[in-house]
Amino acid sequence: MDKTPTSRPLVGVLWMLVTGLCFVAVTAIVKYLGPRIPPEEQAFLRYLLGLVFLIPMLPAMFRTRFTGKLILQFSLRGALHSVGVMLWFFAMTRIPLAEVTAINYLAPVYVTLGAALFLGEKLAMRRIAAVVTALIGAVIILRPGFREIEPGHLAMLLTAVVFGGSYLLAKVTADQVPASVVVGMLSIVVTIVLAPFAYAVWVTPTWTEIGILFGVACFATAGHYTMTLAFAAAPVAVTQPVTFLQLVWATSLGALAFGEPVDVWVVLGGAIVLGAVCFITWREAVLNRRQITPATPATKV
């Protein structure tokens, strides 16, 4: 572990704890909102209302020279992320909070596979074993043949894949423009892409529902901001294991607030998946490679 003065592991862990609480708050608020507002519309309003947070990013965006290649990359990422966000909102109203959280742990695993396929990353045997272990964890969570696999489960599996692809495109564009531009363009493109989907299923929201979705935007934005503070304070290999607490909190909240039964297999499978992700992250740190595998919160809405 890095012991230099610039590394502050305790501060990084504390910021990642706050990050986890923010994202659990996002899932809880969406769960509370329920299915009355279609998932396409919920996703659209979350990003539309969140555009207010782009104001500090506007100067950097105006200074950026948008080439055709950059526009294509931003458009592709925005389209991918839009699909992922709609699937995520759909899953939130169909399956327990703990299962949404546990399955989302797979996204960094898909990033690792995608980096090998599209970015030329090498997959050593240890990383392959970690990926296989993560997939075993996913099977434990879903337990096909022992219980019914619901549409919400399938939606979350696809969500993890799509968010993984979105993250890989973010890594590519981050080498060309400032991070604020990457974040800002994602919000703008996703809002535009989601607009026609939301219009097709539009249900007029109440002011209360609009306020709830603005709360989702606030907590999601705060979570991504505190995550950057955690990364600035300590290596990802240090802060990554803390994300397991999100599963603990989601399980507890689901049981206490929404009456969802605690499923020990989901907790066990989620722990196995996250353990595999932590191993991959740790190996990247040991080998001093450019970080590819993200912390789980980096692949959230």
What is the enclosing helix (H) or strand (E) of 144?
none
- Cα angle, residue 169 at apex, residues 164 and 173 outer, rounded to 5°: 150
Tell me: pLDDT of 247 over 80: yes
31, 164 Cβ separation under 8 angstroms:
no
pLDDT digits over 22-57, tens only?
999 999 999 889 889 999 999 999 999 999 998 988
Q: In 3D, which of 299, 293, 254 has the Cα closest to residue 131?
A: 293
- Give the per-residue pLDDT at 238: 79
- Cα angle, residue 125 at apex, residues 291 and 289 outer, rounded to 5°: 20
pLDDT digits over 117-168, tens only?
887 777 788 888 999 999 999 999 999 888 889 999 999 999 999 998 988 8
Q: Coil, strand, or helix at residue 147?
A: strand
**How does DSSP assign 256-284, residue by residue?**
HHH-PPP-HHHHHHHHHHHHHHHHHHHHH
Q: pTM score, two decimals?
A: 0.88
Q: Phi and psi of 300, rounded to 5°?
A: -110, 175
54, 93 Cβ separation under 8 angstroms:
no
Q: What's the gap between Cα 249 and its chain centre?
A: 16
**Domain ranges (residues) in the chain:** 9-299
pLDDT digits over 164-175, tens only?
898 888 888 888
Identify which has the larger pLDDT, 3 or 295.
295
- Taking the CB of residue 268, how many other CB atoms lie within 10 A of it? 14
